[in-house]
Amino acid sequence: MQSKNHNANLKAVACGLLFLGIRFRYKRLLLSGVTSILETGGMNLSPSLSYVLACPKRYHLEKVQKQKTPAPFASATLGNLVHKRIAYSLRTGNKASLDPFDLPRRLLLQEYEDLSDLCQRAEDSLSYFNDKVLSYLAQFKLHSVEYRLTTSLKLDQDTYNLSGVIDCMIQTPKGLHILDWKTSSVKSSDAQLKFYLVLAYLEWRERELSAEAVSLSTGESQMLTFSPELKDWFKDYLRDMVSALAECERKMPKPGSHCKYCPFAHACELSEAPERVLLDMWTGEVSYLG
**CB 269 to ligand SF4: min, Å:** 8
Near ligand SF4 by CB under 6 A: residue from 22, 29, 38, 55 = 55
Residue closer to ligand SF4 by CB (options 55, 119) is 55
**CB 3 to ligand SF4: min, Å:** 26
Residue 63, burial from CB neighbour count under 10 angstroms (0-12, 13-18, 19+): buried
Q: Please, which of residues 241-260 interact with ligand SF4 by CB under 6 A?
A: 253-255, 258-259
- Residue 168 is a binding residue for ligand SF4 (CB under 6 A): no
Near ligand SF4 by CB under 6 A: residue from 12, 149, 262, 286 = 262
**CB 290 to ligand SF4: min, Å:** 11
- Residue 49 is a binding residue for ligand SF4 (CB under 6 A): no
Residue closer to ligand SF4 by CB (options 6, 260) is 260
Residue closer to ligand SF4 by CB (options 97, 110) is 110
Residue closer to ligand SF4 by CB (options 11, 254) is 254
Contact 71, 107 (CB under 8 A): yes
Near ligand SF4 by CB under 6 A: residue from 23, 58, 63, 276 = 58
CB atoms under 10 Å from CB of 44, counted, come to 19
- Residue 57 is a binding residue for ligand SF4 (CB under 6 A): yes
Residue closer to ligand SF4 by CB (options 90, 268) is 268
Stretch in the footprint of ligand SF4 (CB under 6 A) among 117-125, 203-211, 223-231, 268-276: 268-276
- Residue 164 is a binding residue for ligand SF4 (CB under 6 A): no
- Residue 53 is a binding residue for ligand SF4 (CB under 6 A): no
Q: How many residues bind ligand SF4 (CB under 6 A)?
A: 15
Near ligand SF4 by CB under 6 A: residue from 85, 115, 271, 281 = 271
100, HSE (Cβ side, Cα atoms, 13 Å):
13
Q: Which residues bind ligand SF4 (CB under 6 A)?
A: 55, 57-58, 253-255, 258-259, 262, 264-265, 268, 270-271, 273
